[in-house]
Amino acid sequence: MLVLAPESLTGQEQCNSDARSLRGVARRAGVDPALLHHYFDGKEDLFVHTAHLAVDPRKNLEAILAVPTDAIGVTLVRRLLMLWDSPMGQVTIQTLTSNARLASAFGAMMTKIVQELAAIRFPELPQHARDQFIARIQVTMVGLMVTRHLVKLDAIATASHKELARTYGAIIQDILDSGMTDARSPTHRHR
């Protein structure tokens, strides 16, 4: 039932997720609405939790952070492209772009997961340094997603995963490498 909830929230056949209620989602899933109201604060909370279960960002990010440091950029781009281009990824993108509150809640959840995993992978770096390169990486990846799936700029929309992973992976890797170098420099540590 929960894995199907993001599709339920795309209601009005992908247009107006605000028009859907938790009660409507419960009805489509065949469960008591009181159950959803007990466990979730609203549609946004339900979506964030079900999207998390369907896509499991933590599992994907753990796999990305498990590779050697010099391969994180390419691995991140390749995995995110596979997710975004999948049917579930398309539903998630459509849903997030049709509802700013859902997008904000999902973004906050993703940021929290990335920060937790970065703290485990790069414990020697101060949190503010990790937060800076995480934000830069997120901006780059959101830009790629918007250009590929919403704007559909031909050169990006039709490029292979391999091409995009090579190009954008290098950008992500540079952000990560320069962020780590800056954070480890003596002048940065004394700020």
The Cβ of residue 105 has, within 10 Å, a number of other Cβ atoms equal to 21
How many whole angstroms separate alpha carbon 57 and alpha carbon 67?
16
How many whole angstroms separate alpha carbon 48 and alpha carbon 44?
6
Q: What is the DSSP letter of 149?
A: I
Tens digit of each residue's pLDDT (9 = 90 or more) over 19-41: 467 788 788 878 888 888 888 88
Domains, in order of start, for the chain: 2-48 (1.10.10), 56-189 (1.10.357.10)
In angstroms, how far is CA 71 from the centroid of its own chain?
19
What pTM does this model have?
0.72
Query: Which pLDDT band holds residue 52 (cuts at 50, 70, 90)?
Result: low
Amino acid symbol at 186: P
* Mean pLDDT of all residues in 172-188: 82
Min mean pLDDT across 3-12, 21-30, 71-80, 163-172 is at: 3-12
Nearest CA among 82, 76, 80, 93 for reference residue 149: 93
Cα separations in angstroms, 104 against 44, 54, 132, 134: 9, 18, 19, 16
Task: Dig out the tokens for 141 from the structure.
Answer: 């990846």
